Amino acid sequence: MNKNKILAFATILMIVIGLILLALAAFRYDDIAGWGFASVALGFFANAWVFNALKGRV
């Protein structure tokens, strides 16, 4: 695997984890913990965006 495939795999993995965290925040935790899960999910999406931007440049 070259570095672009690794970054693509990491991007897909982080998007999946972010979606799982958003689903937990929306459906499992209705109290304050849901806000924490949602903010961590947004962090995962931001990190996946950076990984996607790095493909082809590293």
Kindly tell me the sign of the dihedral angle through the C-alpha atoms of 24, 27, 29, 33.
positive
The whole-number average pLDDT for the span 22-38 is 90
Mean pLDDT for the stretch of residues 24-48: 91
Average pLDDT, the chain: 90
| pLDDT for residue 14 | 93
* pLDDT for residue 35: 93
Range of 46's domain?
Answer: 3-54
> How much of the chain, in percent, has pLDDT values that exceed 90?
57
Q: How many domains does the chain have?
A: 1
Mean pLDDT for 21-42 is 91
Token pair for residue 2? 């070259």
